[in-house]
Amino acid sequence: MSALRSNYIKTFADEISHLYYIFFKRYPVFKLFISNILFHSSGNFGLSIVENDVIIGNYTIYNTNEGNIVKEGLDNKVSVRFKVQKSIFDDVMNNKSLYASKPYKLLKFVPALLSSVQIVKKRSVEKYLRGNKVILRQGCEKDLFYLHNWYNDKELNKLAGWTEGKIGTAQLRMNLLKGFGYDPMNLIIETIDGGKPIGTIQLYDFNETDQSCKLGIRIGDRDYWGKGYGEDAIKALLRYAFYELDIFRVSLKLYEYNERASRCYLKCGFKYEGRTRKSAYIDGKFYDEILMGALKSEFISQFDKD
């Protein structure tokens, strides 16, 4: 059990975030000194409180759309970690009004900040994301056979709201090249047990200002429908978006006839946000479009409680 309560650490995290926002807004040149931290950070940090050379508490601070969420322990998905002396912790908590009015006084903490930071190298993007049932990986040439079938399947295309004709090999091959680090980020869903490709999943339309993006998924192999593979793939990709890409919100849309997908999205933490009536014309008929969204703060609270 950590020596300091998580709600007290949250107050500290909220205060220090606010103070340094004031500081860097007034003195933006000093951002150069922490550029390495900003480069590796996803907005989430590990924090160890030290007193007399002994760590008295470890915490993970998740920066979300609704403020900081603090949990005890160090999350191995977090790349940037700090060790803060208890004396500094107490100084900030006792003198926050002073630092807010005179932010230049925060300069005295910069050397300690820089000397205490530890950057844990992230997983190579050439690898994959792992869930409980599936891995999400970069596509390769052998996947073209599956993609050609999945993306020229009339039923699957209707579920996705597509009305276009067939998709050729050249376009599919181009899509395969856009994996980690691209917009759109197209990944193959492959079963852990057996290594079989069963579908695709994407993040796209990244908006840096809003810290948002959209999600799409297609389980092309019908033998894997309704067995939790899509749910596992979505949760794995949401964890990547929220923990490593500093995304606050992921949205999607579906059509009124796709009730199976709707149930899956609800299990993954998405919530209904709106409905546009008869706004999609598909296969000669108008359908309602349903809008859903997932927030980082809600996802952490719902699925990562420990």
Q: Are residues 93 and 141 in the same domain?
A: no
Q: What is the pLDDT of residue 110?
A: 75
Looking at the fold, whether 90 and 149 belong to one and the same domain comes out as no
Evaluate if residue 227 carries a pLDDT over 50. Answer: yes
Q: Is-contact 122 40, C-beta < 8 A?
A: yes
Q: Are 259 and 295 in contact (CB under 8 A)?
A: no
Q: Which of 20-24, 172-176, 239-243 has the highest mean pLDDT?
A: 239-243
Q: Of the residues 119, 151, 176, which one is the last residue of a structural domain?
A: 119
List the Cα angle 258/263/266 in 5-degree steps: 125
Is residue 193 helix, strand or coil? Answer: coil
| Residue 97 shares a structural domain with residue 133 | no
**Which CATH number belongs to the domain containing residue 97 in this structure?**
3.30.1050
User: Is a pLDDT exceeding 60 seen at residue 33?
Assistant: no
Is the pTM above the cut of 0.75?
Answer: yes
Say what percent of the chain tops pLDDT 90.
Answer: 44
Residue 286, domain member (yes or no): yes
Q: CA 114 to CA 160: how far, in whole Å?
A: 48
**Do 41 and 185 lie in a common domain?**
no
Same domain, 81 and 133: no
Q: Are residues 44 and 171 in the same domain?
A: no
Residue 165 has pLDDT above 70, yes or no: no
Q: Are residues 196 and 254 in the same domain?
A: yes
For helices 259-267 and 229-244, what crossing angle results, to 10°? 50
**pLDDT, average across residues 169-186:** 88
User: Which residue has better confidence, 125 or 302?
Assistant: 302
pLDDT at position 306, please? 46
For residues 138-165, average pLDDT: 87
- 123 falls in which pLDDT band (50, 70, 90)? low
Mean pLDDT value of segment 239-246: 91
Q: Same domain for 75 and 145?
A: no
> Looking at 119, 144, 179, which one is the last position of a domain?
119
Please give the pLDDT value at position 1: 42
Measured between alpha carbons, how far is residue 13 from residues 68, 160, 218 in Å?
7, 42, 40
DSSP string, 110-146: HHHHHHH-EEPPPPPTTSEEE-SSEEEE---GGGHHH
Number of domains comprising the chain: 2
Q: Structural domain of residue 163, as residue ranges?
A: 128-303
80 shares its domain with 189: no
> What is the Cα–Cα distance from 226 to 3, expressed in whole angstroms?
45
Does residue 1 fall inside a structural domain? no
Strands (E), 125-233: 128-130, 134-137, 185-191, 197-207, 212-219
Q: Say if residue 168 is in the same domain as residue 278.
A: yes
Q: How many residues does the chain have?
A: 306
pLDDT at 164: 66
Comparing 37-51, 113-127, 151-165, 202-216, the range with the smallest average pLDDT is: 113-127
From 50-59, 106-115, 130-139, 249-258, the region with the lowest mean pLDDT? 106-115
